[in-house]
A and B are shown apart, each in its own frame.
Chain A
Amino acid sequence: MSNNYLIKPMSMALEMLGRISSSEHINRWKLREPALKLVYQGMRQSVRVGKFVQSQYLAPKPLDHDETLKKNIPPKNDRFDLTLTREQQMVRDELLKFAKQVMRPMSRDVDSGEVTPEFFSQVNELGLALGGVPEAINGAGTVRSPVSNMLMAEDLGYGDMSLAIAALAPLGFVNTITEFGSREQQARYLPPFTEETFVSASIALMEPEARFNVNKLKTLAVQTNAGFRLNGVKCMVPLGAQSELMIVFAELEDHGPRGFILERHYPGITIEKELNMGLSAAGMSRVVLTDVEVPVSALLGEQEVHYSHERMIDLARIGICGLSLGTCQAVLDFVIKYANERIAFGEPISNRQAVAFMIADMAIELESMRMLTYRAAGRAEQGLPFHREAYLAQLMCARRAMQIGTDGVQILGGHGYVCEYPVELWYRQLRAVGILEGTFVV
């Protein structure tokens, strides 16, 4: 296994050493001692000693090129279209049923943070993560489909946003591996998701800072002779405390943000559950990395895949937008029913323009969010540049989702403020839109 990262700096340093020592200036100015000391320090820095760590996952051989997921090439005479494919519609029907019958009824209870193992078994039966794993290795996936993934987020978000995040976390991990992982990493880390039990996996991107910037990560990775060493703190990691597998994003010295696949047993990882304004069922956790050593093979994409941090962020933003669409639809449907039934001054409050217009505006802005999110996802799927569209979608959703959340409480008046009704829960969940990054990579 070549260590390209080491060879170039080393050879440059040696060349420079040669030049310095042959220079007459060194002797003239009595600089030999300090110069040698400098070079020694420099050399020591470029060859960090690390601990060899072993992955617990076997990789018999890397995936063949034709075993990986295909790009979804759209048909030739493409036209503006808002209809789902037959398969997408079938999945939609199934997930909406799950959202209404399973997720929504437990929504309030799981807000305490306790999600039963039974829920995860039911989620596993849906086969979400399975759909992202290539058919060739016992998965159900054939193409990379950000649109289908986004639709799943929308439908599960309709049930409960926090449970949706929990349910989708493994699929987000799988999507990140199929999108950015090397063929060997795919062979190593995807098979667990084809099994009978739910396998928790997470993406760790956010960091606990008010001015957190996705492009300026403070979690650092340095190269060692055994692989890499990570130090830093990650927050809002979904299912963090129960995840066996995690992709941690860190700033790799001299290279910018990169992903690292961590296995829970690697020494130096401390995980604690966090308490947040909402989304407690998502199991958001704080991950502290203290001199965590990882093998060379942990680098997402290794030497094989060009990693684009911007692309990863954009795909995750589409995912978060998708979640917000479902939750906002839940708010809208709920307030329509409530406003039509609640009587005040002798008639339903929905007969009053002030209330009716607020609801009309919620509907209009939800459609606005939906159009931008769908467009971004459509472009991502077709291989068109979509950074601008994902950026604008996130801007729109960040503003409008919270507006819908707060209007939802307003329409219910005092009843909206108490825990007997779901709107206060959605209010707390929707505030996360505009904050979350990396939560669900489509």
Chain B
Amino acid sequence: MINLEIPKKLRQVGDMAHAVAEGMFRPISRKYDRFEHAYPEELDMLRSILQGMSDGGSGMGAEGLSQKKKGKSKEITNGNNMAVVLNMMEICWGDSALALTIPGQGLGNAAIAAVATPEQKKRFEGKWAAMAITEPDAGSDSAAINTTAVLDGDEWVLNGEKIFVTCGERADLVVIWATLDQSLGRAAIKSFVVEKKTPGMKVTHLEKKLGIRASDTATIILDNCRIPRDNILGTETIDTKMSFAGVMQTFDNTRPVVAAMSVGVAKAALDLTCDLLSREGLTFKYKGNRFEIPAIEAEIYRMEAELEAARLLMFKAAWMADNGKPNSKEASMSKAKAGRVGNEITLRCVELCSSLGYSEDHLLEKWARDSKIFDIFEGTQQIQQLVVARRVLKKSSKDLK
């Protein structure tokens, strides 16, 4: 039965996350935006909370993302994927930068949860894992990475340079994408777990950024870095017939999560903007001929409609994942929509609030800086449009580049 309301059980998850966002994140938001490379120690407590919840099987956090629907039940469920996006949306309403640096919740953790063997999962249990994909010469074109992994006896030897590694400095492990044989293209790309302090892996640089400053963004150099053979995630064999799909599958589930980050930050901006405008006399009743109400009120409604659409598309993609429906198109749609409207809304809110929006007295200007990245990382707007276009037009990457 068509129903686009979030049920009570899920709402409670969201409310809890909202409480963390408001009580824990907001008070330290400005501080860590100003002190870009300071470690937010207040979050260590959050790690224990989340670990407890995760062990209790709530499926929260990165692990929850890959839980596929169990059993043959045809009953519609609102499961872990929906819980994770709701949670992320609320947390990012608090502070999206801090959300990216919650100990134990790296993108590498999602990869491990998805592909690791039970033995590996045990070995890496409780460790915070970053994911290193991008290189100076390979961003959107992740199949063109140059980092190599060569088998030498019982060890892999890794060489290369990774940039834009979120949590690269703070995490305990880094999952490195490397190629076993560049001539074989994407089929030869595998991921490898490298523990911090392994000789040959070094964080050489931390980026200064436009936004999400509380999140550490690192450059990592691999110089003859040796790791045990069984630190490879997935199989060693190169199956040229297997498409990139297996690795990219993690992204089908993380795209709605990034959409959630964008929706959360935009909602924060819209909420504060409405609050500031209300204090100065504006009321929002959704009444009146839409061309005869004050322009500022019309702008708020327009943004609200766009944000609602982004939010519902995000839930749709997550709902499909929970119910075993292939959702690559919807996942990309949700990220494309949320990325662009999230950025537009946060910027517009600064403008609508004049100097209050521009000043550091309020968080509006920070959110306008934070939002930009969500339309870029984990697949840019343009890549999402490409994925959607290919699906909708039923085209391969060979035809539609």
Contact = CB atoms under 8 A, between A and B. Distances in A.
Given A351-B400, A395-B302, A395-B305, A79 B7 contact: yes
Interface string B237-275: 000000000000000000000000000000000000000
Given A79-B77, A360-B388, A379-B5, A391 B309 contact: no
A387 B301 CA distance: 13
Contact of A78 (B5, B288, B289, B291): B5
B385 A361 contact: yes
A363 B306 CA distance: 15
Interface in A90-123: none
Task: Give the size category of A's interface with B.
Answer: 35 or more
B308 to A, nearest CB: 6
Q: Mostly helix, strand, loop or mixed at chain B's interface? A: helix
B392 A360 contact: yes
Contacts of B286: 387-388, 391-392
B395 A364 contact: no
B1 A83 contact: yes
A60 B326 CA distance: 56
A399 B286 CA distance: 17
Interface residues of B, number: 49
Interface of A: 74-75, 77-85, 147, 211-215, 332, 336, 339-340, 347-348, 350-351, 353, 356-357, 359-361, 363-364, 367-369, 371-372, 374-375, 377-379, 381-382, 384, 387-388, 391-393, 395-396, 399
Nearest to A88: B2
A395 B290 contact: yes
Given A211-B289, A351-B399, A371 B3 contact: no
26 contacts: A78-B7, A79-B76, A80-B3, A80-B319, A82-B2, A83-B1, A340-B393, A350-B393, A351-B399, A353-B389, A353-B400, A353-B401, A356-B390, A356-B393, A356-B400, A364-B337, A367-B337, A368-B306, A368-B309, A368-B313, A371-B4, A372-B305, A374-B4, A375-B312, A384-B5, A396-B308
A213 B388 contact: no
Given A340-B393, A350-B389, A378-B4, 12 more contacts: A74-B1, A79-B77, A83-B2, A339-B393, A353-B386, A359-B389, A360-B336, A360-B386, A367-B313, A375-B5, A392-B308, A396-B308
A371 B313 contact: yes
Nearest to B284: A388
A359 B290 contact: no
Interface string B44-87: 00000000000000000000000000000000111000100000
Nearest to A348: B399
Contacts of B393: 336, 339-340, 350, 356, 359
Interface in B353-401: 382, 385-386, 388-390, 392-395, 399-401
Given A363-B392, A396-B306, A372 B312 contact: yes
A75 B286 CA distance: 30
3 closest cross-chain pairs (CB), A and B: A368-B309, A371-B312, A356-B389
Nearest to A387: B286
B7 A213 contact: no
Contact of B333 (A215, A363, A388): A363
Nearest to A396: B305
Contacts of A384: 5
B128 interface: no
Contacts of B7: 77-80
Contact of B319 (A82, A363, A368): A82
A231 B77 CA distance: 55
B186 to A, nearest CB: 21
Contact of A382 (B3, B287, B289, B337): B3
A426 B3 CA distance: 30
B395 to A, nearest CB: 7
The CB with the most chain A CB atoms within 10 A, among B82, B302, B392, is that of B392
Interface in B140-197: none
